[in-house]
Amino acid sequence: MRIATWNVNSLKARLEKVEWWLERAAPDVLLLQETKLSDDAAPLLPFSMAGYELLHHGEGRWNGVAIASRVGLSDVVTNFGDGPVRSTAAGTSAAGTAAGSSAAGAAMTADEEAFDPFGEARMVSAACGGVRVVSIYAPNGRVVGSPFYAGKLAWFARFRRWLDETQQPGAPLLIGGDFNVAPADLDVWDPAAAHGGTHVSEPERAAFRTLLDWGLEDTWRSRNPGLRRFTWWDYRAGNFQRDEGMRIDHLLATGPVAARIVAVEVDREARKGKPVPSDHAPLVLDLDEPGRPFNAGWSDAAARIADRVAARRSAAGA
């Protein structure tokens, strides 16, 4: 069974790319984040035509998580079982205004005061093919020390409590998504440049470790202990080409699932070309036997990345 996770940065905008990737990689289960859709706008028909059921948990313009499965969907949980989330489908919320405009200082203040990560569509779970899967989109945190950062840490604490109260480390469980945490310096293009920011702060990394301490394995890192590969690159010109990214998308598994893993890969090629890509790449895990082969593009890119990095360092030295 092949399970993948992918922050698509708007499922509406990226639907053609997702359809392309479903044909390319043929996952049995695809965990999606940042769909930016309400549930009634979820593209059920295109997924059905591709052979997938789509379970969507959204709020409208922001956030949103989903599970696409061709091996069944049952026993659904959303929002840690804490009830409904807000709706942002009707128009631009204060959160959207503050995130999209540096000129909206007053809106930012109101946004900070109203910020509630537990009212946002960030978690959906279901049983798929004998494995409970969870698709999560952790809060970004924005600025260390801000209410958004405090909310991020509180959200991770709620996540850990959900595991404590409802799950067992000995049961087949796989959690995938955009955690917005780079667990170690190896997971950042330049630890010195990123130092002091969100995604790499020690409290965020400690929150991530609490999930591992519960009984989850970081499947990518356990299979690739010294390999530096990323899942996210900023859209700014040259960041992807120079491989200036972070590993912030993860697939965490309990022992019964981890024991079945035969391959874990980041599909770098999906971050390229047309249709217009997300700023994240899919992270793919195979259980029991390899899935459909695809060229993830890392070996082909290695020499080009090295040349670009050397050229930039040379220019900076001059």
* CB within 8 Å of 133: residues ≥ 6 apart: 3, 29, 31, 67, 125, 126, 127, 173, 174, 175, 176
* CB within 8 Å of 259: residues ≥ 6 apart: none
Q: Which residue has the tokens 């929002």?
A: 79
* CB within 8 Å of 293: residues ≥ 6 apart: none
**Does residue 102 have a pLDDT over 70?**
no
What pLDDT is attached to residue 309? 65
pTM for this predicted structure? 0.91
Averaged pLDDT for residues 174-189: 98
CATH of domain 2-317: 3.60.10.10
**Does residue 310 have a pLDDT over 80?**
no
- In sequence order, the β-bridge partners of residue 127 are 74, 132
pLDDT tens figures, 60-77: 999 999 999 999 999 999
pLDDT tens figures, 105-164: 444 444 665 689 999 999 999 999 999 999 999 999 999 999 999 999 999 999 999 999
pLDDT tens figures, 190-232: 999 999 899 999 999 999 999 999 999 999 999 999 999 999 9
Confidence class of residue 305 from pLDDT cuts 50, 70 and 90? confident
**Does residue 98 have a pLDDT over 70?**
no
Domain ranges in the chain are: 2-317
Averaged pLDDT for residues 26-45: 98
